[in-house]
Amino acid sequence: MKKLELHWQILIGMLAGVLFALLMVQFEWGSGFISDWIKPFGNIFINSLKLIAVPLILASLIKGVSDLKDISKLSQMGGRTIGIYIFTTVVAVLIGLAIVNIIQPGKSITEETRISLVENYKGDANKRIEQAHKQKETGPLQALEDLVPSNIFKAASDNGNMLQVIFFAIFFGIGLILIPEEQAKPVKKFFDGFNEVILKLIDLIMLAAPYGVFALLAALVVESPSLDLFKALAWYALCVVVGLALMIGVYLTLVWIFTKKSPAFFIKAMSPAQLLAFSTSSSAATLPVTMERVEEHLGVDEEVSSFVLPIGATINMDGTSLYQAVAAIFIAQAFGMDLSIGAQLGIIVTATLASIGSAAVPGAGMVMLVIVLAQAGIPEAGLALIFAVDRPLDMCRTIVNVTGDAAVSMLVAKSVDKLNEPKVKNWDDNLENVK
């Protein structure tokens, strides 16, 4: 019998957790049983995601930066590639922040449920308030000073210092590029292998996702029995989906303006890769198909696609960064926190940088969200609120990640005069070639 795909397992785990909790609350001892014997497994699952946050940043980002190989490439193709990737990522975060601030899905939660949430996680909240008071006493350039760690091991021991870890990873990657290739080779091999190990660990952790989701949802139903929280989740999911759709619109507009190719042409060429991205939730797994569609059907020269797309699969996670922005504000709203403009600007920076280090595999976006929440002072336990709908949204945002990679490859190819006529103009032509 064929094994169910992971996303179906997670959806079943979600439903089973809700139904189990609704059944248990009918008994006087049911709520206590879930809190004592079920919820801890959900906490263990969240802790396992937090556990690999620092290794994931170091492995993915050092590998991604060092893969540029030659600093001189940054002057033309590399500079344009990274510049456009950063630009689209910032646009994605801004779209996410705009939508979530307009719709305000977390504000639909009643005060009673909000008080319950704050009570459950008051330990986290008190710690963040204490940290906020400390920050008020610092100077105007303290954030810039804090960006550079005095001790990388100390920085890596606290998920709240992820910007320092990201700075070190980028700095280390640049150093690998600048030294002779023979000397850099063994170090690169180490981080390539290290990256593969971390990706495998994510695979192993995601095997437990159905059970983790079961525990998280069961605890959520028991601790917040009102239906308004689930209505808020539906509004949150709508915010993410609308934002992702708008981001695809941004890509199509950029392609149309700069390459004169119609949206229909682009979508028709990329639809197989988009469908594969949806089913696998992995930009890395989709990369071979993405490269084939970009070269054969969009007309991007192989020299450009082989440079732009692998980097994009590592550092261009626009769908992930948009989702992180929406999720962070939603969780803050759910806990009754009003984030200042400065805090939301911090989310833009953190989500942009965190998306650069986000691995192109299922579940990595949730790990990166831990970084954004910690940096913004939002209780990390709020992950429990959104994990129920994370998997289907992960499938949707991977479509955006892959679409963004393809769009940027066309823009870069056009800028360096490497955009040609497609070798295969439509699906029927491709079938003829196969015959």
Q: How many residues does the chain have?
A: 435
Tell whether the torsion through CA atoms of 184, 186, 188 and 191 is positive or negative. negative
Closest by CA position to 197, among listed 40, 399, 58, 347: 58
- Distance from C-alpha of 165 to C-alpha of 326, rounded to nearest angstrom: 23
Q: Would residue 365 count as lying in a domain?
A: yes
Mean pLDDT of the chain: 78
Beta bridge partners of 31: none
User: Would you state the pLDDT for residue 79?
Assistant: 78
Closest by CA position to 397, among listed 274, 307, 294: 274
User: Would you state the pLDDT for residue 433?
Assistant: 44
Beta bridge partners of 73: none
User: Would you state the pLDDT for residue 125?
Assistant: 45
User: Would you state the pLDDT for residue 424?
Assistant: 67
| 266 or 339, which is more confident | 266
Quote the percentage of the chain above a pLDDT of 90. Answer: 14
Q: Would residue 245 count as lying in a domain?
A: yes
Q: Would residue 252 count as lying in a domain?
A: yes
- Distance from C-alpha of 58 to C-alpha of 66, rounded to nearest angstrom: 12
- Distance from C-alpha of 290 to C-alpha of 260, rounded to nearest angstrom: 21
User: Would you state the pLDDT for residue 115?
Assistant: 65
User: Would you state the pLDDT for residue 393?
Assistant: 84
Q: Would residue 337 count as lying in a domain?
A: yes
- Distance from C-alpha of 311 to C-alpha of 411, rounded to nearest angstrom: 15
Query: Tokens 């870890």 sit at which residue?
Result: 165
| 293 or 195, which is more confident | 293
pLDDT band at 411 (very low <50, low <70, confident <90, very high): very high
- Distance from C-alpha of 9 to C-alpha of 210, rounded to nearest angstrom: 6
Query: Tokens 């913004």 sit at which residue?
Result: 376
pLDDT band at 242 (very low <50, low <70, confident <90, very high): very high
pLDDT of residue 6 exceeding 90, the answer is no
- When divided into structural domains, the chain yields a total of 1
Range 64-72 average pLDDT: 67
Ramachandran category for residue 394: left, alpha or beta (phi over 0 → left; psi -120 to 50 → alpha): alpha
DSSP codes of every residue in 238-264: HHHHHHHHHHHHHHHHHHHHHH---HH
- Distance from C-alpha of 113 to C-alpha of 117, rounded to nearest angstrom: 6
Range 394-413 average pLDDT: 90
Q: Would residue 1 count as lying in a domain?
A: no
For residue range 166-184, what is the model confidence (pLDDT) as tens digits? 788 878 988 888 888 899 8
Token pair recorded at residue 271:
């639809």
For residue range 301-351, what is the model confidence (pLDDT) as tens digits? 877 887 788 777 767 788 888 988 888 888 888 877 777 777 777 777 777
- Distance from C-alpha of 214 to C-alpha of 228, rounded to nearest angstrom: 20
pLDDT of residue 429 exceeding 60, the answer is no
Closest by CA position to 49, among listed 316, 330, 353, 383: 383
Report which residue type is found at 95.
Answer: I
Q: Would residue 33 count as lying in a domain?
A: yes
| pTM for this prediction | 0.66
Helix, coil or strand: residue 372: helix
Among 70-79, 195-204, 214-223, the range scoring the smallest mean pLDDT is 70-79
Give me the CATH number covering residue 320. Answer: 1.10.3860
Q: What are phi and psi of 269, to 5 degrees?
A: -70, -35
pLDDT of residue 1 exceeding 60, the answer is no
- Distance from C-alpha of 362 to C-alpha of 356, rounded to nearest angstrom: 15
Residue-range definition of the domain harbouring residue 180: 6-434
User: Would you state the pLDDT for residue 75?
Assistant: 61
Range 363-374 average pLDDT: 68
pLDDT of residue 361 exceeding 60, the answer is no
Closest by CA position to 164, among listed 139, 144, 178, 134: 144
User: Would you state the pLDDT for residue 397?
Assistant: 87
For residue range 123-141, what is the model confidence (pLDDT) as tens digits? 554 554 455 455 556 565 6
Q: Would residue 138 count as lying in a domain?
A: yes
Answer yes or no: are the C-beta atoms of 394 and 239 closer than 8 Å: no
pLDDT of residue 116 exceeding 90, the answer is no
